[in-house]
Structure 1
Amino acid sequence: MLLLLLGILFLHIAVLVLLFVSTIVSQWLVGNGHTTDLWQNCTTSALGAVQHCYSSSVSEWLQSVQATMILSVIFSVLALFLFFCQLFTLTKGGRFYITGFFQILAGLCVMSAAAIYTVRHSEWHVNTDYSYGFAYILAWVAFPLALLSGIIYVILRKREL
């Protein structure tokens, strides 16, 4: 049981790190001397050093992506906190429903954010010489991992430690 708890805790922390990195790092779109993320557009030199950064557009779709990414981080942190609370307060045989619910919500929020960004980013960048950056890919990787950990929380029963 202890190894299972450590495994699910490791998975949850990995999802949390992926969510933080994908929300903060300026690598959602990369190409042609520019990097963009949810918050700013940056011009880079040939060596990769950042030269100028400008605030991102105020489009409604971009604000919804920003909000859902922040919500995914909040829900995942809340799920981790609730997991520790439930670990010490649940009776034997109880399930971690609340923790699983918030972790599944975090997964659905990051999926919504990445899907909206995928569909609408072409309105923001008319230049087609770009590729998706690693932060965008990390957001998509965080989605199934968050859902998986949420489902594991729902299935998991508390036993004696």
Structure 2
Amino acid sequence: MLLILLGVLILHLIILILLIVSTATWTVGGDVNKDLWYSCQTVNGGYRCQTASNEDWIQAVQALMILSVLFCFFSLIAFLYQLFRLVKGGRFFFTAIFQILASVFVMCGAIIYTVMSPDDGAGSQFGYAYVLAWVTFPLSLISGLIYIVLRKKE
């Protein structure tokens, strides 16, 4: 039982780290690097950065990704709290709800970014953080489902 709890905890920490990385850096290739927060480009040998556009869709993606990180963190705290306070035989429903909500938020943010991101011409592509966001979606969903099935035993 200890190995299962340790495995679930490690999976949860990996998901949280991937969510933080994917929220911080959504790079797009070429001479222009764009993420959720900044748009940087090489100009005359220098590197110039501006804040991301004020369009509604990018702000929605920013908010959804921040919410996914927060809900994943809250579910980790809830898991640790329930691990010590939950009655024998109880299930981790509260933790599961938070983790599934984090999964839904990251999925919605990635879908909005996929649909609304402008095509900047040749050489434009999605970066590694975009892929990390799509990887964390099924991982956090699976983690949430594991929390639903998991029971506390002594």
What TM-score does the superposition give when structure 1 sets the normalisation length? 0.91
Query: C-alpha distance in 1, partners of 2:102/2:14?
Result: 13
1:62 aligns with 2:58: yes
- Comparing 72-81 and 128-137, the one that deviates more: 128-137
Query: C-alpha distance in 2, partners of 1:106/1:20?
Result: 12
Counterpart of 1:39 in structure 2: which amino acid?
W
1:92 aligns with 2:91: no
1:117 aligns with 2:113: yes
Local SS of the residue matching 1:43: strand
Instruction: State whether residues 26 and 128 of structure 2, in contact with CA within 8 Å, keep that contact through their aligned partners in structure 1.
Output: no
1:1-161 correspondence to structure 2 within 5 Å: 1-27=1-27, 29-31=28-30, 33-44=31-42, 51-122=47-118, 125-160=119-154
% same residue = 50
Instruction: State whether residues 80 and 99 of structure 1, in contact with CA within 8 Å, keep that contact through their aligned partners in structure 2.
Output: yes
Local SS of the residue matching 2:152: coil
Local SS of the residue matching 1:132: coil
Moved over 4 A (4+): none
Question: How much has 1:129 moved relative to structure 2?
Answer: 2.9
Structure 2, unmatched stretches of 5+, are none
Structure 1, unmatched stretches of 5+, are none
Local SS of the residue matching 2:76: helix
Q: Deviations over 1:91-149 (max 9, x none)?
A: 11000000000000001000000000000002xx4434311100100000010000010
Instruction: State whether residues 26 and 135 of structure 1, in contact with CA within 8 Å, keep that contact through their aligned partners in structure 2.
Output: yes
Query: C-alpha distance in 2, partners of 1:103/1:44?
Result: 39
What TM-score does the superposition give when structure 2 sets the normalisation length? 0.94
Query: C-alpha distance in 1, partners of 2:105/2:89?
Result: 30
Instruction: State whether residues 42 and 50 of structure 1, in contact with CA within 8 Å, keep that contact through their aligned partners in structure 2.
Output: no
Question: How much has 1:26 moved relative to structure 2?
Answer: 4.6
Q: RMSD of the TM alignment (CA)?
A: 1.6
Query: C-alpha distance in 2, partners of 1:44/1:21?
Result: 23
Task: Note closer, same or farther for the CA distance 1:157–1:44 as it changes in structure 2 (3 Å cut).
Answer: farther
